[in-house]
């Protein structure tokens, strides 16, 4: 089938046009995912744009985004497909009522009630049966139990679903598949083997500044630079939860609403709670940022 991207640079450019600023690593892996037709497992701290990547790709390739949000207790019936029991019951009942002689034989009914029209498709099956281009996002896959992971394997490696009553349904096209994980548990080897692996980390200074500028277009260059620098310094502290990109953006917006033009220690102190969510972290950052001559970071 036709490839979605020409080169690695093409990936970067088109993601940029969707307001997502990738680094070289991200673009390369997306490019490979397209060429090798393999799913991508995206890991990294919360709020660095893992989900956003899939959304941006859907936008830029003009695909429909199908999203499967994983949670504890997710099962086949909610991820793949389910038989519509109620409709099946109605079908059997109506048969009995309309025809007192017991018209349709059991085999007829059986083949009837296990047909397409009694099938409820769930995200994975929907992605397989779709005709238009698809980006499939399986979000927070580390939340499902390890046994449930197995349910994804067939879809991920062969892009097909076996339904005992209907046979195997094979995908018409290969969508781009993204799995995200916050790494709350180790995923199984079998799952990892089937995927390309991409670790997204906090961005470096320049990229973060650029992200702020793209996401908060009204901000001026100098302030964006300052914001990125403060965030970098804050991330170097040992915190319970380092600020994510989304929190950086929130902070930049806050500053904008407050009409701040240049940052100073006081403003940072007053707005730190946008960036950090633990009281102990806020206090630590406040203390650290107030003293300019902090201990040098151990080299």
Contacting residues toward other proteins, per CB under 8 A:
7-8, 24-25, 27-29, 31-32, 35-36, 38, 40-41, 43-45, 72, 145, 183-186, 189, 192-193, 195-199, 205, 226, 229-230, 232-233, 236, 238-241, 263-265, 268, 280, 283-284, 289-294, 296-299
In the complex with other proteins, the residue whose CB is nearer, 69 or 111, is 69
Closest contact distance (angstroms) between CB of 142 and other proteins is 8
In the complex with other proteins, the residue whose CB is nearer, 64 or 153, is 153
Closest contact distance (angstroms) between CB of 132 and other proteins is 25
Closest contact distance (angstroms) between CB of 236 and other proteins is 7
In the complex with other proteins, the residue whose CB is nearer, 64 or 207, is 207
In the complex with other proteins, the residue whose CB is nearer, 107 or 293, is 293
Closest contact distance (angstroms) between CB of 181 and other proteins is 10
Distance CA 165, CA 31 (A): 37
- DSSP labels, the chain: ---S-SSHHHHHHHHHHTT----HHHHHHHHHHHHHT--EEEE-STTSSHHHHHHHHHHHHTPEEEEEE--TT--HHHHTEEE-HHHHHHHHHHHHHH-TT--S-HHHHHHHHTSGGGEEE-HHHHHHH-SS-EEEEEETGGGS-HHHHHHHHHHHHH-EEEETTTEEEEPSS--EEEEEE--SSPPPHHHHHTSEEEE-----HHHHHHHHHHHSTTS-HHHHHHHHHHHHHHHHS--SS---HHHHHHHHHHHHHTT--S--HHHHHHHHHHH---HHHHHHHHHHHH-TTPPPPP-
Closest contact distance (angstroms) between CB of 25 and other proteins is 5
In the complex with other proteins, the residue whose CB is nearer, 130 or 234, is 234
Distance CA 166, CA 48 (A): 41
Closest contact distance (angstroms) between CB of 286 and other proteins is 11
In the complex with other proteins, the residue whose CB is nearer, 130 or 187, is 187
Dihedral sign, Cα of residue 99, residue 101, residue 103, residue 109:
positive
Distance CA 241, CA 211 (A): 20
Closest contact distance (angstroms) between CB of 243 and other proteins is 14
In the complex with other proteins, the residue whose CB is nearer, 135 or 230, is 230
């Amino acid at each position: 089938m036709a490839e979605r991207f020409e080169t690695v640079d093409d990936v970067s450019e088109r993601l940029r046009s969707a307001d997502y600023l990738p680094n070289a690593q991200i673009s390369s892996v997306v490019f490979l995912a397209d060429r090798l037709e393999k799913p991508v497992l995206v890991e990294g701290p919360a709020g660095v744009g893992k989900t956003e990547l899939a959304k941006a790709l859907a936008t830029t390739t003009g695909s429909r985004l199908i999203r499967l949000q994983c949670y504890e207790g997710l099962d086949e019936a909610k991820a793949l497909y389910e038989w519509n029991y109620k409709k099946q019951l109605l079908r059997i009942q109506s048969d009995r009522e309309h025809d007192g002689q017991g018209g349709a034989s059991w085999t007829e009914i059986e083949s009837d009630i296990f047909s397409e029209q009694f099938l409820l498709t769930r995200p994975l099956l929907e992605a397989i049966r779709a005709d238009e281009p698809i980006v499939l996002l399986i979000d927070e896959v580390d939340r499902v139990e390890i046994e449930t992971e197995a349910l994804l394997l067939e879809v991920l490696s062969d892009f097909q679903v076996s339904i005992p009553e209907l046979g195997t349904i094979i995908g018409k096209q290969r969508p781009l598949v993204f799995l995200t994980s916050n790494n709350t548990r180790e995923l199984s080897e079998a799952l990892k083997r089937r995927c390309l692996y991409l670790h997204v980390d906090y961005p470096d200074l320049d990229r973060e500044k650029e992200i702020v500028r793209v996401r908060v277009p009204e901000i001026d260059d100098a302030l964006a630079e300052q914001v990125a620098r403060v965030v970098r310094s804050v991330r170097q502290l040992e915190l319970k939860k380092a600020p994510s990109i989304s929190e950086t953006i929130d902070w930049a917006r806050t500053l904008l609403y407050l009409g701040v033009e240049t940052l100073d220690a006081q403003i940072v102190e007053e707005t730190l709670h946008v960036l950090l969510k633990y009281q102990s972290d806020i206090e630590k950052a406040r203390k650290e940022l107030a003293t300019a001559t902090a201990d040098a970071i151990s080299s």
